[in-house]
Amino acid sequence: MIEKPGLTLYGLFIVMALLAAAALLLGVAVSSILVLLLVYAALAYSINFITGMIGYVDFGHVLFMAIGSYALATLVSHYEANPLLGVGLGALLGLVFALGIGLVILRFRGVYFAITTVVLVLAAYNIVLQFPQLGAGGEIIVNLTFQPLATYFTIWTIVLIEIVLTYYVNRSRIGFGIRAIKNEEDAASSVGVSPRTLKLTGYMLGGLFGGAAGAVYAWSISGVTAGPAFDFTFSLLMLAMIIIGGVGTSIGPLLGAVVVYIPSYFLLTTVAQAQPLIIGLLVIIMALFLPDGIVGLLRRSNEHLRLVLE
Amino acid sequence: MVAADLVVRDLVFGLLLGCVFSVVAHGLNIIWGIVKVINIAHGEFIMLGAYGAYFLNLFAGLTPLEAAPVDAAIGLLVGYAFYYTFLHRELRDKETITLQSEMVTLAATFGLSLFVSNLAIILFTGNPVGINYNPGTLQFGYLHVPLAALYVAILSVLIITGTWLFLERTFIGSAIRAYAQDVTATELVGANPAKVASLATALGFAVTMAGGALLTVWIPVGINPLMGALYAPISFVIVVLGGPGKMWGSLVGGLTLGVVIDVVQAFTTVEIAYAAAFLILIPVLVFRPEGLLKR
């Protein structure tokens, strides 16, 4: 079923190459600005495995990000481990938690799933406050020498893996199965697709990469605090990124990450609330009028783009 | 004996808290049960209701109890506006809401929640405010019950009873119930589905904003732009516990949650109490997805 890779993948590779070159050539200042963009992109691709592919709206994806952040922060601050080990542990814990949680909550469909994800984040937040080992709500400081390039290329690698994986999953047998679930779960199971396994696979991929991205985020901001780590704004921004970019596509999450990131960069200094405000408005407009996001808009506007964009 | 006193006290306070939770969740229940749409921005309208009560108190000297009907009237208008901007396009000419439309409404109301809460931070600042309303306490032996909480509880039960009576005993109410069961049939008997659905949505918003006003009695220094992030999930849990569309379900779910929070809190900490309250949702969805009430 796998065909020759199309222009979309090459285009994404070029963007990634430019991002790598920018960090190497333009130095620390640029890479410390772009690292957040890449964290956004990594998170957008990770939630895309769940919401984008299976079609289940996940409001609580920040849970996996927080798990990753705490994994790295605890490992580095208590055991003085290499931060890369922290990223690995974040990814692993994200995967394990996704397996455990997914086994239970993927049985709930549609809105029931969506609501359960919200509730889980709040429960997890209240539980973390109980543990002095996890800072009991205070900050765990990650005390490392400033290594912007190491952080940058870790998250760069994660995004690159996500892009390739998204692209091939979308084109493969698994991708067809997953899209079948998205359209009609009961019909899918009656023609031999196993929704349980596929949904769990998507959810675990989401957990894995969400955890990894969260770990790098904690690394880049040198610590983790319970309040911001479980902040719904982040969770909502991730969802906003794929809704704006194009849910389920290979290129949409990156487009969405750029759109969400730009106001945060330019407006943060003036009005902190301007970013979520604008993003909220964009999501409303997108959801009501352009349900397939920027990618859908581009596809409809141009016959050539329709064939190329994935 | 002392332990028994404490349990009774926690039960009473849990029930009073449960009443206000019920009314806060009731608006979501109405819209979810009848229009079959989940308003993710529900918490933001509770917040607006609370701020409504705050400003009515500040500028007009109204108590939260007096502010509730004013909030409800504003809520009616907001509800109609919400229906025609967010839901009408997705719901018209459809017998049942499709999964696609469900996702659209989830995403759109989610955008709305992000928009409204952040607009509120800009307009009202992030600093919490509160209303000073204390009509005294009522004493039953060792129990001191704040009258404000008692009034709110009574009003909450009255509101829920009122909506039940409206739906069960009036002609328009039966049209709304018909819509909840079968949209096409509503049309066949001559009712305009859009009018019925918009009325139900408006009713839901009226109750939600009035609930926000009543809630202010419980949070004397806690009205803030982000309060929706707590009360929306609480409302979701309550509606699932009671079963969407069952008017008494709000009360069953709210009281259950109120008692769980107060009793667990008595033995552990407030954080564990809220974690427990949220996690109830999962076993309920696994074992009784239709809610705690049989019918």
Does pLDDT of A122 surpass 60? Answer: yes
Say whether B108 and A288 touch across the interface (CB within 8 A): yes
Residue B274: which of A126, A274, A280 has the nearest Cβ? A126
DSSP letter (8 states) at residue A134: G
B143 φ, ψ to 5°?
A: -90, 125
| Cβ distance of A271 and B271 shorter than 8 Å | no
**Cβ–Cβ gap A115/B233 under 8 Å:** yes
Contact assignment for A287 to B107 by CB distance below 8 Å: yes
**pLDDT for the residue numbered B153:** 94
> Is B280's Cβ below 8 Å from some Cβ in A?
no
C-beta atoms of B282 and A104 within 8 A: yes
Closest CA to A218 of A229, A209, A207, A208: A229
**Residue A269 pLDDT more than 60?**
no
A210/A261: higher pLDDT? A210
- Report the mean per-residue pLDDT for chain A: 84
The per-residue pLDDT for B207 is 97
Q: What pLDDT score does A193 carry?
A: 67
Contacts of B122 in chain A (CB under 8 A): 271, 273-274, 277
Over residues A25-44, the pLDDT tens digits come to 887 777 778 888 999 999 99
**Residue with the larger pLDDT of the pair A193 and A151:** A151
For residue A186, pLDDT over 80 is answered with: no
In chain A, the percentage of residues whose pLDDT exceeds 70 is 90
pLDDT at B164: 95
Contact list in A for residue B89 (CB cut-off 8 A) is 288
Q: What are phi and psi of B138, to 5 degrees?
A: -110, 135
Q: Are B115 and A273 in contact (CB under 8 A)?
A: no
**How far, in Å, CA of A309 to CA of A22, rounded?**
25
Pairing between β-strand B137-140 and β-strand A223-225 as defined by DSSP bridges: unpaired
Residues from chain A that touch B287, judged by Cβ atoms under 8 A, are none
Residue A227 pLDDT greater than 50, yes or no? yes
Q: Does domain B2-287 have CATH number 1.10.3470?
A: yes
* Average of per-residue pLDDT across A122-150: 80
Give the model's pLDDT for residue B218: 92
| Residues of chain B where predicted confidence (pLDDT) is lower than 70 | 1-2, 294-295
- What is the model's pLDDT at position B157? 95
Query: What does each C-alpha distance from A125 to A119, A128, A214, A227, B166 come to in angstroms?
Result: 10, 5, 15, 8, 40
> Residue B44's pLDDT is what?
96
Instruction: State how far Cα A62 lies from the chain centre.
Output: 9
Decide if B112 touches A, using CB distance below 8 A.
Answer: yes
Cα distance between residue B257 and residue B278, in whole Å: 9
Nearest CA in chain A to B103: A57
**For residue B142, what is the DSSP state?**
T
Residue A267 has pLDDT above 70, yes or no: no
pLDDT over 50 (residue A1): no
Query: Is the pLDDT confidence value at A15 over 50?
Result: yes
Single out the residue of A45, A65, A73, A61 nearest to residue A138, CA to CA. A73
Contact A107 B271 (CB under 8 A): no
Buried b (16+ CB within 10 A) or exposed e, B29-68: bbbbbbbbbbbbbbbbbbbbbbbbbbebbeeeebbbbebb
CA–CA gap between residue A83 and residue A32 (Å, rounded): 17
Contact A111 B106 (CB under 8 A): yes
Question: How many CB pairs below 8 A link A and B?
Answer: 133
Q: Which residue of B has its CA nearest to A292?
A: B104
| pLDDT score at A305 | 72
Residue linked to tokens 């709930």: A108
Domains of chain A by residue range: 7-231
**Looking at CA atoms only, how far is residue A265 from chain B in angstroms?**
17
State yes or no: pLDDT of A275 exceeds 90. Answer: no
Domain residues of chain B, as ranges? 2-287
Q: Decide: pTM greater than 0.80.
A: yes
Tell me if residue A45 falls in helix, strand or coil.
helix
pLDDT tens column, A150-182 = 888 999 999 999 999 998 888 877 777 776 766
What are B207-223's pLDDT values in tens digits?
999 999 999 999 988 89
Instruction: Give A197 to chain B, closest Cα distance, Å.
Output: 19
